[in-house]
Amino acid sequence: MSLQAQSSEVVIENLGLSFGDTQVLKGIDLTIKAGEFFSFLGPSGSGKSTLLRAIAGFGPEPTGRILIGGQDVAKLPPWERNVGMVFQSYALWPHMTVAKNVAFGLEERKVARAQIDKRVKQALDLVDLADFGERRPSQLSGGQQQRVALARTIIIEPRVLLLDEPLSNLDANLRVQMRGDILALQKKLNLTTIFVTHDQEEANTTSVRMAVLNHGILQQVGAPMELYDAPANRFVASFLGTANILEGEVRTNGQLTAFLSSGGLQIPIRQGADSITAIAIRPQNISLHTPGGGTSEAELRFKAVVSDIEFLGSTLRYAVKTGQETMLVDHVHEPGDRVFALEEQVDMAIVPDHVTLLRG
């Protein structure tokens, strides 16, 4: 495959960026390994797209450094960076055919005509659009347009591939398929790829590692499962999936160290975690039982009352009140299972090992 790109490492050092007086990125430090599939995940307004655009050279000039394959590109204009970007809207030029669109980058690089034609054909082959070269972008479906945008970008053999919410304009089924296609292409070309999304499922299923951003600040970096299981702060805990977050403080009483929530729940924790200000428990890590069982070291039990029930299909989500706290509890739904009723007295069971301690 001649479209094999030289994959490069991306290092971001102390990156800051402002729109006028508004600082939208603050002190970002990040290393994306060569050939890695990496995601920027965050809610809208978190700065994830701004960060991606800064790597491509769009938007206000940032402070700090952006090293691609060791070269600082932070001050270079977009056209000298050789990073490929696929835009959220695809940005295919409507006045050119598909083939013309794909050929554009090579034409700008003054590649010989015969060579351009050959590589355009290869690129379109690669995205399964070999027969669509003479069509106009407007004659293609959303998914096809997406693939043209990919072909147009990878043909220049970029050092990094940047994808700005590339799946957000596709319908649900196509999104899953396209996700797979992009991943397969990335593996084939071994391209360092940065993927911006607000959809955690997309990030989880594609990325080797990901970075969670909020308010322009990097919250946590790691493999998807790491981030889910050990969120570093309240934001990451609640943004990735659902979590019961209990505010409170650590109390030590003789031998016993425990977290006392402001709602009155007391959960023993290991010693030396004095700076903890909150804990997180996932709904699926809590279970409800008919009253009567006792508390043990491995499983804590609290008296609770069912205050709400939602049927979500694969799960039943209860809201239960215990003390002043309201907790969400997920039970996997199986036909014939006992379903607790509203206002029913239950025992709520928590495994201390499943409790995440939060500092930030």
Q: Is 46 in the site for other proteins (CB under 8 A)?
A: no
- With beta carbons less than 8 A apart as the criterion, state whether 17 and 24 touch: yes
Using DSSP's 3-state secondary structure scheme, residue 114 falls into helix
Q: Is 91 in the site for other proteins (CB under 8 A)?
A: yes
DSSP secondary structure, 143-184, as one string: HHHHHHHHHHHHTT--SSEEEESTTTTS-HHHHHHHHHHHHH
How far apart, in Å, are the Cα atoms of 309 and each of 242, 312, 330, 333?
16, 10, 10, 12
- From the list 70, 94, 254, 272, which residue makes contact with other proteins (rule: CB under 8 A)? 94
Please tell me the distance from the alpha carbon of residue 219 to that of residue 98, in angstroms, as a whole number.
40
Q: Is 42 in the site for other proteins (CB under 8 A)?
A: no
Q: Is 168 in the site for other proteins (CB under 8 A)?
A: no
Nearest residue (CB) to other proteins, 77 versus 254: 77
Query: Nearest distance from residue 126's CB to other proteins, in Å?
Result: 17
Q: Is 115 in the site for other proteins (CB under 8 A)?
A: no
Nearest residue (CB) to other proteins, 56 versus 346: 56
For residue 252, give the amino acid letter.
Answer: T
- With beta carbons less than 8 A apart as the criterion, state whether 85 and 164 touch: yes
Please tell me the distance from the alpha carbon of residue 63 to that of residue 120, in angstroms, as a whole number.
37
Nearest residue (CB) to other proteins, 87 versus 215: 87
Q: Is 112 in the site for other proteins (CB under 8 A)?
A: no
Q: Is 159 in the site for other proteins (CB under 8 A)?
A: no
Query: Nearest distance from residue 196's CB to other proteins, in Å?
Result: 14
Query: Nearest distance from residue 45's CB to other proteins, in Å?
Result: 11
Q: Is 142 in the site for other proteins (CB under 8 A)?
A: no
Q: Is 78 in the site for other proteins (CB under 8 A)?
A: yes
For residue 275, the surrounding DSSP H or E stretch is: none
Q: Where do contacts with other proteins occur on this chain (CB under 8 A)?
A: 56-58, 77-85, 87-89, 91, 93-95, 104-105, 108-109, 138, 152-153, 156
